[in-house]
Amino acid sequence: MASSPSKTVRPRSALQPPVSRKPRLFRGQCVCVRGSAFVAIMAASRVKYSVLLPTYNERQNLPLIVWLLVRSFEQSGYEFEIIIIDDGSPDGTQEIAEQLIKIYGSDKILLRPRAKKLGLGTAYIHGMKHATGNFIIIMDADLSHHPKFIPEFIRIQKEGNFDIVSGTRYKGNGGVHGWDLKRKLISRGANFLTQVLLQPGASDLTGSFRLYRKEVLQKLMEKCVSKGYVFQMEMIVRARQLGYSIGEVPISFVDRVYGESKLGGNEIVSFLKGLLTLFATT
């Protein structure tokens, strides 16, 4: 059998660089990115939610609210962390938090305590310094806010690309459970007064169950001067001033089962003073 003629191979000069050929891409194909560039792209596109839980004497409520949060996030598949900001609780809340860290892991549960009670607003500021998520969720640790609403917060935020999503007791099928008539009337009256005076563009100005873009929350905290429960009201008013978009999710607010309410006469007086201050300055 006659052998086929061999091809002549032209030697390449040692100084001649190899020919660079760009790959031909067809519709539907993509270019794979490898190494550190791929890791950087994935890290930038990953969404993580940081839950801030201010606590004071919440030993009985903390294990259940953390379990409900972990279950909600794991079922929905979202990356998360829970940051507990305890203000020197004498009832052993911090010891319970340390046990929860052992159960769920230090990457999921973080304890960032303070020496004493310094106000709700400053608790959020303290917690956010340690948050690594793209979004911040604030809520009460006393089971008044059920984590089952969080997936709806996230869905609404994504659909409307909102800067803030606020839980509302006064819209749709939202409501309050466990309050007597007097407390309901006080709450409704306070909310009506804030709507008339401040026109905030949100139906529940005093609620404390919200989702924020992290950079938006940082900006608002730079503007806000209030402490305590007035802080929540000022956050929405400042958000309106700065042109941030606000979505709403109807929620069911349930009065605490364990422990004592932190809302006392001093907080009510502070609320009225804060309302008048915001009315005069915004």
In the chain, where do the E strands start and end? 48-55, 79-86, 109-111, 135-138, 164-168, 175-177, 210-213, 246-250, 252-254
Averaged pLDDT, 33-59: 72
Q: Is the pLDDT of residue 167 over 60?
A: yes
Q: 13: which residues sit within 8 A by CB, 6+ positions away?
A: none
Cβ–Cβ < 8 Å for 62, 96: yes
Q: What pLDDT, on a 0 to 100 scale, did the predictor assign at position 159?
A: 98
Residue 161: which region, alpha, beta or left (left: phi > 0; alpha: psi -120 to 50)? left
Correct CATH for 40-281 of 3.30.565.10, 3.40.640.10, 1.10.1660.10, 3.90.550.10: 3.90.550.10
211 vs 238, higher pLDDT = 211
Q: What is the mean pLDDT of the chain?
A: 83
Does residue 248 surpass a pLDDT of 80?
A: yes
Query: With pLDDT > 70 as the criterion, what percentage of the chain qualifies?
Result: 78
Cβ neighbours around 130 below 10 Å, total: 14
Confidence (pTM):
0.79
CA distance between the termini of the chain: 98
| Candidate from 68-72, 182-186, 265-269 with smallest mean pLDDT | 265-269
- pLDDT value of position 263: 55
User: pLDDT, tens digit, for every residue of 88-138?
Assistant: 999 999 999 999 999 999 999 999 999 998 888 889 989 999 999 999 999
Report the DSSP beta bridge partners of residue 76: none
- pLDDT given for residue 216 in this prediction: 97
Domain locations in the chain as residue ranges = 40-281
Report d(CA 245, CA 240) in Å as an integer. 8
Burial of 111 (0-12, 13-18, 19+ CB in 10 A): buried
Please give the Cα distance from 239 to 246 (Å, whole number). Answer: 8
